Amino acid sequence: MGQSGKRGLILGIESSCDETAAAVVERGARTLSSVVASQIATHARYGGVVPELASREHLRAIVPVVRAALAEAGVTLGDLDALAVTSGPGLAGALLVGITYAKALAFAQGLPLVAVNHLEGHIHAVLLNERQTVKDSPDAQSLALVVSGGHTHLYLAEPASGTWHYRLVGRTLDDAAGEAYDKVAKLLGLGYPGGPWIDALAQFGDARAVPFSFAQVKTKAHLTGKTPRTKAAKTTPIAELDPHFLFSFSGIKTAVLRYVELHGMREEAQARVPRMLALGHIPATREEALALCPQPVLDLIASFQHAVIGDLMKKTFAAAEGLGAVRVLVTGGVAANRELRERFTAEAQRRGLAIAFPTRALSTDNAAMIAAAAWPRFVAGEFAPESLTADPALALGR
């Protein structure tokens, strides 16, 4: 047992992509602070994350962010029981900033260090939220959809003597859902990251206007046993996965592109960029939405979102039912989406399944989820080796 009889405080550090984050969490159940420094302003003008700039920004932010997390929690380094850090998956240079800093701090303070998989962190964002809001939150077998800018993965998560076991049961073959949101937003001259823009604008459009559809993904013979090429899914062979639980989002992205070209919307979309920048915020009212996008563009946005969420729902609930999970967890940046939350909640109710999301703030990258995921590992004495380094393609489960 790694417990030292103190308060069970873990300082989590997260730097896998474009957010530098630190948080102090007590016994994996109570968030004392959660500080997130976003690099959106740095990457926005490039329409995506630039890895070199991300590393540089992490280097700048890490010390003040950790200090702020300690100060907000009202604790000092001496009060901590352990440190936790994301060791992968993510950008190698970005991960290394957090890992190197956490290792140095752990060494200097004589504290144990727990390495956390970023995807397990996203799952624990839901569990942390439940522990904070529901009294006896059930540690029940759950089907977890991790849906973000880098991942669209389905896991069967099972509590196993204090810690959790994960089985990968489905995933995207190409783009992640959040990646599709970001690319479609860019194509339509909207801001980066695209998810929040599409989320806000979709409510003013007619989702039935453009009938996008998803064909059942086939496990093509040439793909079987191989690892997909894209950044979303580099790790595990798909051979053993049920094709009903596989996703593909590059098709709808191309379909939107074709629709835009066919309907002469391209120039108008490009002309939107300076108007979008001048507006400076995501439209909140119908008037603002219409001032930025003509109705056919709003309809296209609503139709795209409706189709993506429909596909996520169909496969997630099929997996939950097929594998006998009693609960569905949805987490990752895209889980912040309003329509997604409404439709998943309604469908879970219809099927008599429990469903849980993190708060919207805990859906996107943060360090509270890393400190929470580290708690059971800390209790079990599972500490990182001195040789810990970044693992950009780290997989979760098997």
Contacting residues toward ligand KG4, per CB under 6 A: 17, 148-150, 178, 181-182, 193-196, 199, 332-334, 336-337, 364-365
The least distance separating Zn ion from the CB of residue 151, rounded to whole angstroms, comes to 7
Question: Helices 177-187 and 194-202, interaxial angle, to 10°?
Answer: 80
Picked from ligand KG4, Zn ion, none, the partner binding residue 329 (CB below 5 to 8 A depending on kind) is none
Nearer residue to ligand KG4 within complex by CB, 130 or 199 = 199
Q: Is the distance from CB of 140 to CB of 327 less than 8 angstroms?
A: yes
Does residue 182 touch Zn ion according to CB under 5 A? no
Q: Is the distance from CB of 288 to CB of 201 less than 8 angstroms?
A: no
The continuous run of DSSP H or E covering 276 comes out as helix 266-279
Nearer residue to ligand KG4 within complex by CB, 83 or 176 = 176
The least distance separating ligand KG4 from the CB of residue 146, rounded to whole angstroms, comes to 8
Q: Which one among 365, 366, 369, 375 touches Zn ion, defined by CB under 5 A? A: 365
Does residue 148 touch Zn ion according to CB under 5 A? yes
Picked from ligand KG4, Zn ion, none, the partner binding residue 199 (CB below 5 to 8 A depending on kind) is ligand KG4
Nearer residue to Zn ion within complex by CB, 36 or 301 = 36
Picked from ligand KG4, Zn ion, none, the partner binding residue 195 (CB below 5 to 8 A depending on kind) is ligand KG4
The least distance separating ligand KG4 from the CB of residue 337, rounded to whole angstroms, comes to 3
The least distance separating ligand KG4 from the CB of residue 259, rounded to whole angstroms, comes to 20
Does residue 55 touch Zn ion according to CB under 5 A? no
Nearer residue to ligand KG4 within complex by CB, 17 or 99 = 17
In eight-state DSSP terms, residue 319 is H
Q: Which two tokens stand for residue 293?
A: 């996008």
Among 41-49, 148-156, 211-219, 274-282, the segment contacting Zn ion (CB under 5 A)? 148-156
Q: Is the distance from CB of 139 to CB of 326 less than 8 angstroms?
A: no
Rounded to an integer, what distance in angstroms lies between the CA atom of residue 341 and that of residue 155? 19
Rounded to an integer, what distance in angstroms lies between the CA atom of residue 83 and that of residue 80? 8
Q: Tokens 């998560």 correspond to what residue?
A: 157
The least distance separating Zn ion from the CB of residue 17, rounded to whole angstroms, comes to 6
The least distance separating ligand KG4 from the CB of residue 201, rounded to whole angstroms, comes to 11
Q: Which two tokens stand for residue 68?
A: 């702020």
Nearer residue to ligand KG4 within complex by CB, 114 or 301 = 301
Torsions phi, psi of 336, nearest 5?
-75, -15
The residues with which 22 forms a beta bridge, in sequence order, are 13, 35
Rounded to an integer, what distance in angstroms lies between the CA atom of residue 113 and that of residue 383? 6
Tell me how far the alpha carbon of residue 318 is from its chain's centroid: 21
Picked from Zn ion, ligand KG4, none, the partner binding residue 170 (CB below 5 to 8 A depending on kind) is none
Q: Residue 369, by phi and psi: left (phi above 0), alpha (psi -120 to 50) or beta?
A: alpha
Residue ranges in contact with Zn ion by CB under 5 A: 148, 365
